[in-house]
Amino acid sequence: MITLYTDATPNGRRVSIMLEEVGLSYQVRKISLDKGEHRYPDYLKINPAGQIPTIMDTDVDDSGVLILTQTAAILIYLAEKTGRLICKPSLDRARMWEWLALDATDISSTRFNAFLLSLRIGDSMKEGVELLRERAMVFYRLMDARLTETQYLAGNEISIADISAYPWAASMEHPQMQSFENLQRWMKVMGRRPAVQRGMTIPE
Ligand SMILES: N[C@@H](CCC(=O)N[C@@H](CS)C(=O)NCC(=O)O)C(=O)O
């Protein structure tokens, strides 16, 4: 059985969507960021960085328990465990890693840092927030260009690169987003998937 420790944020939903897509049975433990539960000593034992999401998997081969943090690592682990949403060794697979890495290292951190700055420092850091938002738009422009060539980010099959990118892309509010026609087409396709719709409501 897998337990997902999460809250209603794009990073958390990258994993809840994945769990819904692969169909593994799992339970959800809400870790309220508003209440500071991510810094409670019990939670820090499983995620010393004090971040969500985390998974605990008790169904592992050597009868141990796996506690795993870092969204990209969790997506790769679940894809390998189930053989789902991972491209077969090929050029598409290389592209899948490339887009997953861009999302994990650049897009997610840019988006989260903009959110954190606006939340903690408010108007005094308006310029810093705007700079990060413009940087995010550079990446969404890249994504739009990629999606003029292929249906999904890795190629013509959905993969963990798409699951990773969707929740942050879907929450981006910027006037230019509407002009990215292929990104919009991809978001509609992703947003219609029942597993994505369920994953986006977790935790309730
Ligand atoms: N690199 C981490 C980032 C996770 C992350 O930033 N989570 C945010 C919520 S979206 C969080 O828990 N923030 C609390 C904090 O940093 O204090 C991952 O990919 O899982």
pLDDT tens digits, residue range 47-82?
999 999 999 999 998 778 999 999 999 999 999 999
Structure-token pair, residue 1 = 């059985």
Give the position, in ligand 1's atom list, of the atom nearest the Cα of 39: 17
Identify the three-state secondary structure at position 55.
Answer: strand
pLDDT of 114-159, one tens digit each? 998 888 776 777 888 999 999 999 999 999 999 999 999 999 999 9
Q: Among candidates 140, 148, 142, which has minimal Cα distance to 170?
A: 140
Least Cα distance to 146 among 93, 193, 109, 98 occurs for: 98
Which residues surround ligand 1 with Cβ inside 6 Å? 9, 11, 33, 38, 50-53, 70-71, 112
Selection from 161, 172, 166 nearest residue 189 by Cα: 166
CA 148 – ligand 1 centroid, Å = 31
Dist CA 46 CA 41 (whole Å):
9
| Architecture in CATH for domain 91-193 | Up-down Bundle (1.20)
Mean pLDDT score of the chain, rounded to an integer?
96
Considering the entire predicted model, what is its pTM? 0.96
Rounded distance from Cα 52 to ligand 1 centre (Å) = 5
Q: Which CATH architecture has domain 2-85?
A: 3-Layer(aba) Sandwich (3.40)
